[in-house]
Amino acid sequence: MSANIKFSVGGELDMPIYNAIDIHPQHWNGWLRPIVTIETALQIAEDIFNHDDLSDNNPYHDIHDAIKEARENFEDTVEVGGYIIWDEVQL
């Protein structure tokens, strides 16, 4: 797939839209597995944090775990695909 793909939850235009620098070639249950910069991953984690139900924050914690692992391996990108229904945004 080509770089610089715009994506959001469900591909919806009324959701926050992010830029992927690449997409993992295999999908998760049919959904995109975007690869983003650490800065974008941090923004996504903040945007999806569930303030109303603190027990419902597995995707938030998964992203932070991926960021930690990326930094430990001196990488500057993170896959944020697990358990979130990402799809490409058609502008």
> What number is the average pLDDT over the span 22-28?
77
pLDDT at 81 over 50: yes
The predicted pLDDT at position 3 comes to 62
Whether the Cβ atoms of residue 27 and residue 16 lie closer than 8 Å to each other: no
Residue 70 pLDDT class (50, 70, 90 cuts): very high
| Alpha carbons 32 and 74: distance in angstroms, whole number | 24
Percentage, residues of the chain above pLDDT 90: 68
Amino acid at 30: G
Q: What residues pair up with 35 in beta bridges, in sequence order? A: 22, 79
The alpha-helical segments, DSSP class H, found in 1-91 are 38-48, 58-72
Q: Look at residue 15 and tell me whether its pLDDT is greater than 70.
A: yes
Instruction: Say which DSSP state 63 is in.
Output: H
Closest CA to 39 of 58, 63, 15: 63
Average pLDDT over residues 69-87: 91
